[in-house]
Structure 1
Amino acid sequence: MNGDEATVMNSHHFLILFFPFQSHINPSLQLAKNLARNGVKVTLVTTNRGLKQMKSLLTLKGLSCASFSNEKDDDYQSHNGFYSYVESLRSIGSQNLMNLIKKFSDEGQQCATAFTIYHRFFNSQEGIHGRMDPSVSIKVPTLPLFSSSDLPTFLLPNSPSSGFLIPVMQEHMQVLEQDPRSFVLVNTFEELEQESIKAIANMNVIAVGPLMPSAFCDGSDLTDKSFGLDLFSVSDDYFQWLDSKPEHSVIYASFGSLAVLKKEQKEEILHALVESGRPFLWVLRSSNSEEEEMHKMMENSLNGDGIIVPWCSQVEVLSHRSIGCFVTHCGWNSTLESIVSGVPIICCPQFADQTTNAKMVDEVWGTGVRAKANGESIIERDEIKKCLDIVMGDGDRGKEMRGNARKWRGLAIEAVKEGGSTYNNLKKLLEISG
C-alpha cells in the first residue's frame, strides 16, 4: 500500500450495525476485523445487551465498539417478546442510533440464495408477495426449483412470524431500491453461490465471506493443540475426548443458539445417536427444568461413546480431525462453518432460512442430506439413523458427499487468499466507499 492509498484508507470509518444475537455477532465481528486489517477505522454498533456479549473480543487496532439503548433489551426470547423487541428497535433504537451516528459525524449474516428469494418476493417490479398461495415455488436460473418447503418459513402465509417479519423485509427492499448507492454484503463466497448472486446483480451484492477467524480459512493445520486451543479460552475436556477418537468417526450435533427443540425431538435425536453405535458430541443448552430433566435422562442413556456439553467452540470442533458428520439446524453460520471445515452434514432445519440452506446443501452443493420430518414436524430416530448411515457409511453417496465437502473447503480457502474472490471484493468495497 503506497502513501496515497494509506491516506485514503485512514479516512474511512465503517459502522457495522447488527442484532445482539450470537449468530449475528460472530460474522459481524469477523467482517470488522477484515476491514480493520486493511487500515480503516471500524466501529461495531449494537444494543447495550449485545455490547456486553462481545466487548472482550475487540483486540485489533482500529476496531472499536459502541452501543445504543433499546427499552426491550432483555425481552426477546419468547415469540411476543421478540415482536416487541423488534418494534422497540425500529423506534427507540433507531433514534438512539441516529444520535450515535451524528456523534461520530461531529467527531470527523444471510446467504445470497435466501436474499435472492426475498428479492423475488418483495421487489417493487415483479414481487409475488400478496398474490401467492401456499404451494408457491421460486425458480432461480440453473438452480433446482424451490418449493414451499424450501423457502424461508416466515414467507409462508401460515407462519406465526410472517405478520411482523414480512413488513420488515418489505421495508428493507424498498430502501435498497430507492438508494442506488447502497450495497448488500453477504456472508458467502462467489464460487459457492454465483448463480444466486447473478440473479440479483442489480442489487449490488458483494460476497465478503466466509466471515470466520482467519486461522480456519487459510488451510492451517488445526490438529496442533498448541495452536488451536489458544484461539479461545475454553475447557479442553471435550477436546481430550475428541483426541481419543479415530479420524472422521465422531458425530457432532448442535442446533444453534436460538432454535428450541421439542422434547419429543430431543428424545428422537438421543435414541438415534445412541443406537447409531458411533461416538458423538452433542451440544445441548441447559436453560430450564425441562432441559435439566432431559440431561438426566440422557446421562442415564449414554453407553460411554457419547458426550453432552452445554456449549463448545464450534469452529474448533468442526475442524477437529475426529469429526465425521455434523447434525445441524442449518443456520447459515453453521452451514458455512461446515463448508469451510470440509465436514458433511445432516440437515434438520427448524425455521427461517434454514430450509433454504438445507435445500442447497442437499441438492446443489452435495455436501449432505436433508432429514425428512413426519406429519408432526418431528424427525424420527430411524430417519436420523438412515441419514447417518448414508453420510458416514462406505456407500457411493457418502463418498461423494465427503469429496464434495473437501472440494468446497478448498474453494473457500482460495476465496480468502490474496487474489481470491473475497479478498478482491473487500478491496473493491474499500474503493467504492471512498
Structure 2
Amino acid sequence: MPAMVEEVRAAAEAGAAGPHFLVVTYPAQGHINPARHLARRLLRATGARVTISTAASAFRKMFPGDEEGAAAGECHRDAAGVWYVPYSDGYDAGFDRAVHDHTHYMSQVRVVGSRTLGAVLERLRAAGRPVTLVVYTLLLSWVADVARGHGVPAALYWIQPATVLAAYLHFFRGTDGVDRAIAAAGGDPMATVRVPGLPPLRIRDLPSFIANTSEDDPYAFVADMFRELVDMLGREDSPSVLTNTFDAMEPEAVASLREHGVDIVPVGPVLSFLDEAPGAGCVSVAKNGGNDLFKQDGTGYLEWLDAQAPGSVVYISFGSLSMMSKRQIEEVARGMAASGRPFLWVLREDNRSSEGAGDAASLGGERGMVVEWCDQVRVLSHPAVGCFVTHCGWNSTLESVACGVPTVGVPQWTDQGTNAWLVERLGAGVRAAVSDKDGVLEADELRRCLDFATSEMVRAKAAVWREKAHASAAEGGSSERNLRAFVGKQLGGGN
C-alpha cells in the first residue's frame, strides 16, 4: 500500500503530526493476538506510529522484567516496531477467576480504565505523539466515550465472525421477531431459526450468550455488554466496524450488516504471517512468537514435528481459556491412543493438574507429545500437521483456514458454535458430537471425526480456502483494499 505510506511521509515533511493509531484491547490472549496482528498490519500498511494499550497485568506478562515501566505507564516497543503502553483496570496484579467476581471486574475496568486510558491519551499528546484514531476490541465499548471525550475518533475492531455480530444485532433489535423465535425454541440445540439475511442456523450455531440465557450464569453480564454495543452502533450514523474476516468467507453476514446500517469493513484474516514477504512461510519468530501471556514450552516440539511424516500429526488445543475436565482429558487420550495417529497436545498446567488429571495424558501412548503452550501458527504451518482438534476460537479458526489445516471442532461457548458452523459450511472440517450429559467429546467420536477431517475431500476443501484467505489479505486482495479505503478516510484522503 505505497500510497498511504507516501501520505504519511508527506504529512511529516510538512511538519504536521503524523497519524498515530492506538489499539486498545482486553487483557486476554484471545483479544491481544488479533489486536497485535492488526497493529502490525497498520504499521506495514501506513508507516505510521501504532501503539497497543492493554491492562497492566497483561503488559507485565508480555514484557517480564519491565515492572517499573508497567507501574509508570511507560511505552515499550516490540521487535516488529509496535509500541505498547499499559492502562490500569483496577486489577494490576491480575484477575483470578477462581477468586474474583467477573461482574465487579467489568464495572471496575470501566471506571478505572476510563480514567487511566484518558491519562494515556493525555501523555501521548503531551509527548508530541497525539493519537489520531483509537481502535478498540470487544467488551470495551467505554473506550469510544473516552476517545471522543479527548477529541479523538474511535472505531470498533470486531474480533469474532461477522455472522456473530449480525446475530447479536438482529437479536437485540428484535429484527423480524428473531429474539422471540430463539426464545420459543426453548433451548433445543437442533431447532432451526432464521436470522435476517443469514442461512438457516440451529440454536447450537448461535452465540451462547443469546442461545442459552440463564440467570445463574456467571457470564450473563456479557450479553448485556453486547446489547450495549449494539445500542451504541444504533446511535451512530453508518458506524464503521473493522472485522477480522474476509468477503468470501461470510458474504451473507456482511451484506446483512450493511443493509441494517453497519459499515462493516472486512480486513481479515488479520494474521501477521500473511503480511510477510512471499516465500517467508508462517514461521517468523519476530512477528509471531514472543510477548504472549503464556510461556512457550521448551521441550522441542518443533524438532519432534520435523521427525514426523507429512500430514500425519493431529494437533490438539482448546485455547487459552477453555477448561478440560478429567473425563475429557481421559477421552481425548483414549481416542488418540486407539487412533494410532501421532499427536501434539497443548494441555495447559491449570488443565493438567485439575481434578487429579495430571497423568491422564500418558494414556495417549508413545505416539504423542504433550506441551503446556506453543507457537500455534508455526505448528499449523508445519508440513507434518494434518488435522487440528480445536475449541473453535475465532483466532484458531482463522489460523487453521489460512494454513489449510482441516479441523475437528469442539465448541464450548461464546462464538465457538458459530465458528464451527462456518467451518462446516466451508467444507474444511467437521463439528464433533459431544455427550448430552456433560458435553464431553468421547473417544469413539473423536476417532470418527479424525477419519472424516483427514479425508481427501476435506483436505482439498481446506487447501482451496487457504488460497482464498491468502488472496484476500495479499496486496490488491479484498481485505487489503478494504483496509486501504478505511485508512485513507482516517488520513483525510477519502476512498
Structure-2 residue corresponding to 1:115: 165
Deviation at 1:215, TM superposition (A): 5.2
8 Å contact from structure 1 (residues 25, 54) kept in 2? no
| 1:350-389 pair list within 5 angstroms | 350-362=412-424, 364-376=425-437, 377-389=439-451
| 1:199-348 pair list within 5 angstroms | 199-201=256-258, 202-214=261-273, 220=279, 222=281, 232=289, 235=298, 237-287=300-350, 290-291=353-354, 293-299=356-362, 301-348=363-410
State how many pairs are aligned. 424
Structure 2 CA distance for partners of 1:374 and 1:117, relative to 1, 3 Å: same
8 Å contact from structure 2 (residues 79, 287) kept in 1? no
User: d(CA) in 2 for partners of 1:387 and 1:275?
Assistant: 13
Query: 2:18 matched to 1:11?
Result: yes
Query: 2:103 matched to 1:83?
Result: yes
Q: Which is further off, 163-172 or 331-340?
A: 163-172
Unaligned runs of 5+ in 2: 64-75, 131-158, 291-295
The one-letter amino acid of 2:270's match is: L
The one-letter amino acid of 2:244's match is: N
SS in 1 for 2:269: coil
User: d(CA) in 1 for partners of 2:43 and 2:430?
Assistant: 38
The one-letter amino acid of 1:209's match is: G
User: d(CA) in 2 for partners of 1:263 and 1:112?
Assistant: 34
Structure 2 CA distance for partners of 1:181 and 1:66, relative to 1, 3 Å: farther
Root mean square deviation of aligned Cα:
2.7
Query: 2:62 matched to 1:54?
Result: yes
Structure-2 residue corresponding to 1:395: none
Unaligned runs of 5+ in 1: 393-397
SS in 2 for 1:200: helix
Structure-1 residue corresponding to 2:140: none
Structure-1 residue corresponding to 2:232: 175
TM-score of the two chains, using structure 2 as the length reference: 0.79
8 Å contact from structure 2 (residues 334, 443) kept in 1? yes
The one-letter amino acid of 1:273's match is: M
Per-residue CA deviations over 1:60-92 (Å, capped at 9, x if unaligned) read 44x322211122342242495333222211222
Deviation at 1:216, TM superposition (A): 7.5
Deviation at 1:324, TM superposition (A): 0.7
8 Å contact from structure 1 (residues 44, 66) kept in 2? yes
User: d(CA) in 2 for partners of 1:162 and 1:121?
Assistant: 18
Structure-1 residue corresponding to 2:90: 71
User: d(CA) in 1 for partners of 2:173 and 2:467?
Assistant: 35
Q: Which is further off, 324-333 or 127-136?
A: 127-136
8 Å contact from structure 1 (residues 218, 416) kept in 2? no
